[in-house]
Amino acid sequence: MIRFWKSSGTRFRLHQGYGGQAVPAPSAPLWSPDDPVGGFLDLLPENHSIIRNLAISPSRAKYAANRHRRRAIPACRPSPIDADPPRRLTFPPICAKNRAVNVAGKHYRTIWLESPGCVRIIDQARLPHEFAFLDLRTTADMCAAIRDMNLRGAGLIGCAAAWGLYLSACLHAGQPDWHARLQTDSDALLATRPTARNLEWALHRMQRALAACATPGDRLETARAEAQAITDEDAEFSRRMGQHGVALLREIAARNNGQPVNVLTHCNAGWLAFVDHGTALAPVYAAHDAGLPVHVWVDETRPRNQGASLTAWELGHHGVPHTLIPDNAGGHLMQHGMVDIVLVGCDRCTAAGDVANKIGTYLKALAARDNGVPFYAILPSSTLDWSIRDGVKEIVIEQRGADEVTHVPGWNEAAGKPATVRICPAGTPAANYGFDVTPARLVTGLITERGIAPATREGLLALYPERHADG
């Protein structure tokens, strides 16, 4: 069911605890103005004015002489407070006063439990021209939403898979063949998007949580609690990645003598791709909200144009200055000193630091290396695949339908409605590889919820020492 947004807000009762387990109240406040990184809540302004897009003149090239030289990063920048998952997560799905607004004066998450047996998502297939909701009531509904990209993005796909198994529990928890039905639904969800690691990770976590449940009521409550915990964790980890990444933007801003920090990003790795905050855009939002001058070069990101349709929409609603560019313009901008840093998301990262992301990311990394521009991938630990060493050889690259290449969706101004047009001769064959792999040697660093590390196995193990046992 499609439901359009309305002006009235809704408040939700918070689910307390982590992983469905009740925990005692903390002995210290959840947030302290003296410890904005360590606290769980960011007290941000209630409203942000919409700022006109900022275009950077080519004359900015004169500032590029020495600012864009590649700098070595420390062996690791872990944050001690991030060593363990939070004990209490407090992120309501919608209209939270402690969070910055992100759509029309309100705060939204991308996915939430609307009512028992009903998961609501923002229908991203209708953006940027329409802002609408989609209600999902079965695992088949969730599979279709993931496959048809009503929802997309590594983190959000993982959370959606978790809620998909919750919907499975709603329908089958009381049946004698419960475990078999759960496995069937899990397999169906896994088949929707093979490249995204988060999806696989979330399904395994849900299955482990449900394995010991003996009664239908226990199965249903465990499925709900674990899906909610995964969702809250995604939002919190994204917030932490933003706090780690904003330190890099502060360093650049200090050298820029008042000029905006120019960030180049590819595809959409903002809050629409996760539950909240996002990955690649999380430091941008943190910088903007802190008053740092920041400007984003937004790759259109063919063939589905997630940059043009989603990233530009996000940034515009948050008031972040940005400029939409053709995919092939990034190298030119770097040559002329108009890019300070490249920030991208990640759908799967190997134990050696190879990064799989939207097709075209590899070319941006090559251009960044040639021009001395730092290139960072931002990802939560759920995106790390410790079983893979060589990303180019081992990561399965999703191939999508040819019509995404041969046809372009848009808005028919004359008719006042969405339209899709063919941009090539009828019958033209097309290949549509959804992702490519950027080798670790081209990645300046990896930003996770635990800190910043070099794109190496040693760097990742410094952040995640518990993974030494993986070999």
The span from the CA of 240 to the CA of 91, in Å, is 14
Per-residue pLDDT of 409-441, as tens digits, reads 888 888 888 899 999 999 999 999 999 999 999
Mean pLDDT of the 440-450 span: 98
Mean pLDDT of the 391-418 span: 92
Mean pLDDT of the 327-355 span: 97
The residues, any chain, with a CB within 8 Å of residue 252's CB and separated by 6 or more, are: 67, 261, 340, 341
The answer to whether the CB of 452 falls within 8 A of the CB of 352 is no
Token pair belonging to 39: 């606290």
The span from the CA of 227 to the CA of 159, in Å, is 7
Which DSSP helix (H) or strand (E) runs through 152? none
Token pair belonging to 164: 């998909």
Q: What is the pLDDT of residue 471?
A: 57
Tell me whether residue 135 is one of the annotated catalytic residues: no
Per-residue pLDDT of 265-289, as tens digits, reads 999 999 999 999 999 999 999 999 9
Cα separation of the two ends of the chain: 47
* N residues, the chain: 471
In terms of Cα–Cα distance, which of 385, 448, 35, 415 is closest to 238?
A: 448
Token look-up 């349709």 returns 309
Edge-to-edge strand ranges of the sheet holding 384-385? 384-385, 348-350, 355-358, 435-438
Catalytic residue among 82, 141, 185, 347: 347
The span from the CA of 243 to the CA of 438, in Å, is 24
The span from the CA of 316 to the CA of 311, in Å, is 8
Per-residue pLDDT of 350-381, as tens digits, reads 999 999 999 999 999 999 999 999 999 999 99
Mean pLDDT of the 221-233 span: 97
0.75 exceeded by the pTM? yes
Q: What is the pLDDT of residue 238?
A: 96
DSSP lists the bridge partners of residue 3 as 133
Cβ-count burial of 29 within 10 angstroms (0-12 exposed, 13-18 middle, 19+ buried)?
exposed
Radius of gyration of the chain (CA): 21
Q: What is the pLDDT of residue 36?
A: 29
Instruction: Please check the confidence at residue 175 and state whether its pLDDT lies above 90.
Output: no
The answer to whether the CB of 280 falls within 8 A of the CB of 378 is yes
In terms of Cα–Cα distance, which of 121, 169, 156, 152 is closest to 20?
A: 169
Question: What is the overall mean pLDDT for the chain?
Answer: 81
Token pair belonging to 386: 């410790």
DSSP lists the bridge partners of residue 136 as 119
Q: How confident is the model at residue 195 (pLDDT cuts 50, 70, 90)?
A: confident
Strands 118-122 and 417-422: unpaired
Per-residue pLDDT of 285-325, as tens digits, reads 999 999 999 999 999 999 999 999 999 999 999 999 999 99
The residues, any chain, with a CB within 8 Å of residue 339's CB and separated by 6 or more, are: 68, 262, 263, 264, 297, 330, 333, 368, 371, 373
Q: What is the pLDDT of residue 418?
A: 86
Q: What is the pLDDT of residue 127?
A: 94
The span from the CA of 190 to the CA of 202, in Å, is 10
Domain ranges for the chain, please list them: 239-470
In terms of Cα–Cα distance, which of 239, 277, 284, 244 is closest to 260?
A: 284
CATH class in words for 239-470: alpha beta
Strands 348-350 and 384-385: parallel
| Cβ neighbours of 316 (radius 10 Å) | 17
In terms of Cα–Cα distance, which of 101, 104, 92 is closest to 44?
A: 101
Q: How confident is the model at residue 98 (pLDDT cuts 50, 70, 90)?
A: very low
Mean pLDDT of the 179-205 span: 93
The answer to whether the CB of 237 falls within 8 A of the CB of 271 is no
Catalogue the E-assigned strands of 194-326. Answer: 261-265, 294-299, 322-325
Amino acid at 408: V
